[in-house]
Structures are given as structure tokens and as C-alpha cells.
Amino acid sequence: MYKLVVFFALFAMVAARPGYLEAGPLLHSYAAPAIIHEPALAKVGAIVKTIPSAVSHQSISQVHSSAHIIQPIVAPVLKTYAAPIIKTYAAPALHTTLLSPSWAAHGWAPSW
């Protein structure tokens, strides 16, 4: 029993791989474009059925009126949406120089 406990403890440590992130490539923060595939149905056509709404049941069969039932014909399609790629650029460093004498930077106030 003790051998099984030791075996599973070693197996858990091997499966955890604590040095996995250090040995792998550098982590990149590249956002892949999101492509969304959505199943949908497209209308291809329609079947028009005529069903009698009233039939006389006497010596003759006469259809008084008929109702039209439209059954759509659909086919499976795949809608694909691609999210826009957002690009970011680093702003350039802004280097400015103050147009003042060198003594003004040390706390001296101008006398004019």
C-alpha cells in the first residue's frame, strides 16, 4: 500500500512539471483574431400545399375553398464573423528642454 502512495506522489510531481514555464518559449501577448463560426439555416425555397378547408359529404364531393400552406425549405449554412484586429503602437518618448538658464533649475527665482 505504501508503494502505491509513493508511486502516486511521484506521479503527481512529474505531472505538475514545476519548471514547465521556464523551459518553454517566451510568453507572447499576441491576440489572435477572433473568428466565430455560427450554424444557421438559409431559406432555399418554399413548398406550397393546398388543403381543402371544407368538403361536402353528400352525393358529390365539392371543394368549397382551399387554404394554402407554405412550408419553407431550409439548408444548413455556416455564418462566419471575423472580429477586427486591434493594433496598438507605443507612443514615442517625448524629449523636451526647458528654455531657461541653468541656475533656474536649482531653486533660484528670476529677479526681473
Tens of pLDDT along the chain (112 residues) come to 888 899 888 878 777 766 555 555 555 555 666 777 788 888 888 888 877 766 666 666 666 677 778 888 888 887 877 777 666 666 666 655 555 555 555 555 555 5
Cα–Cα distance for residue pair 98/21, rounded to 1 Å = 47
The one-character DSSP state at 17 is -
Which run of H or E residues covers position 4? helix 2-16
How much is the pLDDT for 77? Answer: 81
Write down the pLDDT at residue 81. 75
